C-alpha cells in the first residue's frame, strides 16, 4: 500500500533541510553586503571652538 506524500508549500517549504543551504547563502550574502555598505568613519570630528589645547609642562 502506497501513501501519497503531500508537497510542502508556504512557510513549511522554506524551513526544510533542503532549503538550509539557501538560507545560509542568503545570510552570508547579507553579511558581505553589510561589510561593504557600512560607514567606515574612524575619525571623530569636533568643532575647534569646543576643544582646549595647552602645551605639556613637566613638573
pTM over 0.75: no
Cβ-based neighbour number of residue 3 at 10 Å: 5
Domain that holds residue 57: 1-59
Residue 12 to residue 10: CA distance in whole angstroms: 6
Residue 41 has a pLDDT of 75
| pLDDT tens digits, one per residue of 9-57 | 888 888 888 889 999 999 999 999 999 998 877 888 889 889 888 899 9
Cβ-based neighbour number of residue 53 at 10 Å: 5
Residue 3 has a pLDDT of 92
Residue 35 to residue 26: CA distance in whole angstroms: 14
What is the distance between the terminal CA atoms of the chain, rounded to a whole angstrom? 97
Domain count, the chain: 1
pLDDT band at residue 5 under the 50/70/90 scheme: confident
Residue 30 has a pLDDT of 97
Amino acid at each position: 500500500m502506497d501513501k501519497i506524500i503531500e508537497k510542502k508549500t508556504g512557510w513549511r517549504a522554506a524551513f526544510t533541510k533542503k532549503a538550509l543551504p539557501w538560507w545560509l547563502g542568503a545570510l552570508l550574502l547579507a553579511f558581505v553586503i553589510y561589510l561593504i555598505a557600512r560607514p567606515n568613519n574612524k575619525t571623530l570630528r569636533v568643532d575647534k571652538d569646543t576643544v582646549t589645547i595647552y602645551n605639556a609642562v613637566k613638573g
